[in-house]
Structure 1
């Protein structure tokens, strides 16, 4: 077992070079591709767009006499409420 570890951990082995190459390429992709793409997307989404994604605009209030576009229905006038107190 000791002989295996002696050969396995020798400097300059192919697995060390492969791991280092994988590390370098992963670092390049992260720093040069993913982080700038995320930063640009974040800036465009939260600083330049008029209404960010996910914000729901509320519909205007409906008043008596208004026409509902989808059904063509006209809202009837409000009922007068007669209060017997004060």
Structure 2
């Protein structure tokens, strides 16, 4: 007798279906180890993490507003004069 019986064919089909379903990846897969960082990259990676001393210092720095000619300084009321033109003579 050659070949599979109808019952064996059903079992093989079911096994193949289960095997194919097991090959599908879940949203959590693949699970990869975190990448290894070189020392300098590792330093910068952790430099401004929340809770670090550098992050606290960085958060305390405030940017000064840009000042252009004609802008009024709020604290003093002074108006920034226009820039003087450079002399056109040769150096």
TM, length-normalised to structure 2: 0.34
Larger Cα-atom Rg:
2
Q: TM-score, normalised by structure 1?
A: 0.36
Bigger proportion of residues as helix: 1
